[in-house]
Amino acid sequence: MTDRIEQRINSLNKRLNSEKRFRIYCIGAMSFALAWVLILFLNIFSSGYSAFYRTVIQVDVPFLNLIEDTTQFSEMSSEDINNLSMYSFSKKAIYRLFPDIEEKKDKKMLIRLFSIEFEQEIREFLKSNKSNINEAETIYLTASDDVDQVNKGNYPRDLDEDKRRIKDIQLLFFDDLVDRGLVSYEFNLPFLMRGDSREPELAGVGGSIVGSLFTILVVLILSFPIGIFAAIYLEEFAPKNKVTDFIEININNLAAVPSIVFGLLGLGIILNTFGLPRSTPLVGGIVLSLMTLPTIIIATRASLRAVPPSIREGALAVGATKMQAVMHHVVPVAMPGALTGTIIGLAQALGETAPLLLIGMVAFVVDVPQTPLDASASLPVQVYLWSESAERGYVEKTSATIMMLLGFLILMNLAAVLIRRKFETKW
């Protein structure tokens, strides 16, 4: 008797224990998923935030050596200044940081502490301040990528010299400059404004941000009206027949087609058959609109369906035609849902990369695009491009680009949530 009771208790304990274990597994699984969200964000942010400031080195530039009287600059046009030969002058200004250096090799090393556009930077300074240039001016010149990374502590200094991109003598120069207080940080505005570059310290996301904006604009212009009209037709006017069924099956299937297939469509039809220009936000936008249309149509249909029949019937009862009932009464009520769906579709399109690779939006573009017909990259493509580059400086830039991309996505999703909260009517 007691044996059987004990058996029962044992079995009950076993069951309860396995219940506990199961619960722990479940919690473990969920924590695992949550942990990866955290790890992902921490990883990106910790390596990306440093791209938002940059290392500059303070250099005294004796403009008097360039011209007898510095007031003459104010009479020069930008063109004249562009024509000034300033290369050796700029180099000499940098040599003045270490007047004792004689050897040519060392001088070269010193120059390499700066970005290759140091001459251009001095010229720009001259252009923007030409009316009041003193005999000598202090200019903050962009440091080269290697110096920038060493200064930020991202680059290991204790490697062997031949494995390092930055040489011992350069580190010596650099440490001396730090001791003299000439090395400082400033907000990395060029990173936000400029296009791509082969030099990490000069590369910026400005071009790809504009490219992304143009692309999203094209997507919005194309997919918002088409998606909403299609949804209105299918939900309100379509007769129940084979054509309608076929359209519906198509929409549901398109929602599941891998994005890269849309890239193949863009390459095969839009580029090769219609001959639209490669690498442009226009083509990217067209391809991405085709991809986001199902999302918008499905969301809009759901919100049209959620409008109570009483609204429709009320309008019909007072003599409105079907079109008037739909356009004046049903669609305005369903609009918040349609807008939410559109924004979510746009967010998807903003983060999409694969189809853009196939239609050539991976071109290396230095200039910030001016119209949707200029070749350009987009933010996610920029991430891909830079992640393929070997230079260490691109790692933080890539992470920073991802931060901005995620920032845009979060903003868009927040907007969608807000629209839904604010305008959605519960019936």
Partner 1 sequence: MGFILISLIILIGITSYFLGNLRAKNLRTSNQKNLKSLSHYYGYYVALWAVVPALLILLMITSFKSFFIEQYVLSDFIALGSYTETELSLLFTQIENTAMGIKLFDENTILIDGAVNKLNYINKTSENLTYVTVLGFSGLLVLYSIFNINHKLNSRKIVEKFLIVLYFTCSLVAIMTTVGIIFSLLYETLRFFSQVPITDFLFGLNWSPQRVFVREAGDLDTRDLANAFGAVPLFAGTFLIALIAMCVSVPVGLLTAIYMSEYASPKVRDWAKPIIEILAGIPTVVYGFFAALTVAPLVRDIGQGAGLTVSSESALAAGFVMGIMIIPFISSLSDDVIKSVPQSLREGSYAMGATKRETIVKVLLPAALPGIVGSFLLAVSRAIGETMIVVMAAGLNAKLTANPLDAATTITTQIVVILIGDQEFDSPKTQSAFALGLTLFVVTLALNFIALQVVKKYTERYD
Compose the 390-409 pattern: x for residues touching partner 1 by CB under 8 A, - for all others.
-----x--xx--x--xx--x
In this complex, which beta carbon is closest to partner 1, that of residue 70 or of residue 279? 279
The reply to whether 159 sits near partner 1 by the rule CB under 8 A is no
Q: Are 342 and 223 in contact (CB under 8 A)?
A: yes
Task: Choose which of 11, 25, 168, 328 interacts with partner 1 (CB under 8 A).
Answer: 25
Q: Is 31 helix (H, G, I), strand (E, B) or coil?
A: helix
Helices (H), 49-167: 78-83, 87-95, 104-111, 118-128, 145-151
Task: Choose which of 203, 209, 251, 368 interacts with partner 1 (CB under 8 A).
Answer: 251
Could you tell me which residues are beta bridge partners of residue 23? none
The reply to whether 219 sits near partner 1 by the rule CB under 8 A is no
Minimum CB distance to partner 1, residue 128 (Å): 30
In this complex, which beta carbon is closest to partner 1, that of residue 228 or of residue 339? 228
The reply to whether 225 sits near partner 1 by the rule CB under 8 A is yes
The reply to whether 423 sits near partner 1 by the rule CB under 8 A is no
Residue burial 28-42, b: 16+ Cβ < 10 Å; e: rest: eeeeeeeeeeeeeee
Q: How many CB atoms neighbour CB 426 within 10 A?
A: 4
In this complex, which beta carbon is closest to partner 1, that of residue 275 or of residue 309? 275
The reply to whether 418 sits near partner 1 by the rule CB under 8 A is no
Task: Choose which of 233, 328, 414, 418 interacts with partner 1 (CB under 8 A).
Answer: 233
The reply to whether 310 sits near partner 1 by the rule CB under 8 A is no
In this complex, which beta carbon is closest to partner 1, that of residue 58 or of residue 244? 244
- DSSP label of 425: P
The reply to whether 216 sits near partner 1 by the rule CB under 8 A is no
Residue partners of 285: CB distance under 8 A and separation at least 6: 214, 215, 216, 217, 218, 219, 221, 222, 372
The reply to whether 197 sits near partner 1 by the rule CB under 8 A is no
In this complex, which beta carbon is closest to partner 1, that of residue 204 or of residue 263? 263
Minimum CB distance to partner 1, residue 377 (Å): 12
Task: Choose which of 1, 5, 32, 68 interacts with partner 1 (CB under 8 A).
Answer: 32
The reply to whether 354 sits near partner 1 by the rule CB under 8 A is yes
Minimum CB distance to partner 1, residue 368 (Å): 20
Element (H, E) at 337: helix 331-351
DSSP, residue by residue, 357-374: HHTTTT----SPP-STTS
Burial environment of residue 118 by CB neighbours within 10 A (0 to 12, 13 to 18, 19 or more) = buried
Considering only the stretches 25-33, 170-178, 199-207, 309-317, report the one whose residues sit in contact with partner 1 under the rule CB under 8 A: 25-33
Q: Is 76 helix (H, G, I), strand (E, B) or coil?
A: coil
Q: Are 130 and 368 in contact (CB under 8 A)?
A: no
Compose the 255-294 pattern: x for residues touching partner 1 by CB under 8 A, - for all others.
-xxxxxxxxxx-xxx--xxxx--------------x--xx
The reply to whether 23 sits near partner 1 by the rule CB under 8 A is yes
Q: And the tokens for 298? A: 């499905």
Minimum CB distance to partner 1, residue 404 (Å): 12
- Residue type at 160 in one-letter notation: D
d(CA 246, CA 230): 14
Please tell me the count of residues contacting partner 1 according to CB under 8 A: 84
The reply to whether 53 sits near partner 1 by the rule CB under 8 A is no
Q: Which residue has the tokens 């070997």?
A: 390
d(CA 54, CA 405): 20
